[in-house]
Amino acid sequence: MVTRKNTDVVSVDEARVMEGLAPRKNLIQKLCEVIAELGPMQPEGFNSFHKYKYFSDEQLSSAFRDKLAKRNILLVPEVRSYDIRDFETEKGKHSFLTTMMVRWTLHDGDSEDFIEATTVGQGDDPGDKGANKAMTGAFKYLLIKMALIGGEGDAEADEATDKRHAAPQKAAAARVEAPAAPVTGVQKGGRQQGANEPQVDTVSRLAAELGIGFDGLLNVIKNVLGVEVEMPPDPEDKKKMMRAFFEGLTSEEIGKIVQALNEAIERKP
């Protein structure tokens, strides 16, 4: 803040204009500048086994690091939930599948602005690297989708998965996939609170009252938040993943779902 001689307080932006300088850019403007500076990007990583290119952690970190730092933007991760599942691969080998939901907060060091987004990453590893892989996946897709970078992760192009699900399989732990939750918007001041236990329980109670089950609740999520979530077939696994998904939402987002469910109950004959 800057103070005039008559003790009236003016904002930093007003002071900059008085000095002939341009007002500070907000967080959205800064991020748009970063995206524009990145320009078209091509994946530099190559998977020699499956013969495809991909954006590596190193490539994305290098591309974003300096551009964010010089604009005083800091990215802070917070693991909201995780699940480690022991399973047997199609070749009969033992492995662990780690599913991790991560909330990312972009802080603007020149103001109190911040943006939050939630992504889900998975890591398949027979040793102790599943969590590292899951975190890396969540990180990569945050940057890829935020910056509108194409070329990786198109689910419609995954023919191998289509063939695998079309053929008979022996029972194994299902792979859970969920796309990134939408950015929840720029907030002023303190951190926006996440969904709490009573809110999650309220959603379950209202869904049961409506009798819509998991599929109906997934449709509500899609209609209200624009998010599609693929759930495993096992009912207990569905329950765990659904709760983990809701716990990763903000209070505002889960409040919208509660409102939509209440409105549906009011419309019931």
Instruction: For residue range 82-134, list pLDDT tens digits in order.
Output: 888 888 877 778 888 899 999 999 999 999 899 999 999 999 888 889 999 99
Q: Tell me, what's the pLDDT at 86?
A: 86
Predicted confidence at residue 46, as pLDDT, reads 86
Q: Which residue has better confidence, 205 or 105?
A: 105
Task: Determine the average pLDDT of the residues in 248-267.
Answer: 82
Average pLDDT over residues 158-175: 47
Mean predicted confidence (pLDDT) in 23-36: 92
**Of 6 and 176, the one with more pLDDT:** 6
Q: Give the pTM.
A: 0.54
- Is residue 202 predicted with pLDDT exceeding 50? yes
Please, which residues have CB within 8 angstroms of residue 46's CB and are 6 or more apart in sequence? 52, 53, 54
Task: Provide the 10 A C-beta neighbour count for residue 75.
Answer: 15
**pLDDT on residue 199:** 75
Is residue 176 scored above 80 in pLDDT? no
Quick one: pLDDT band at residue 137, thresholds 50, 70, 90?
Answer: very high
| pLDDT tens-digit readout, 50-80 | 777 889 999 999 999 999 999 999 999 999 9
Out of 3.90.25, 2.40.160, 3.30.390, 3.40.50, the CATH code matching 23-150+174-191 is 3.30.390
State yes or no: pLDDT of 37 exceeds 80: yes
Q: Among residues of the chain, what percentage have pLDDT more than 70? A: 75
- What are the residue boundaries of the structural domains of the chain, listed by start? 23-150+174-191, 193-269
* Predicted pLDDT at 151: 58
Q: Which residue has the higher pLDDT, 10 or 126?
A: 126
Q: What is the mean pLDDT of the chain?
A: 77
91 C-beta neighbours (distance < 10 Å), count: 6
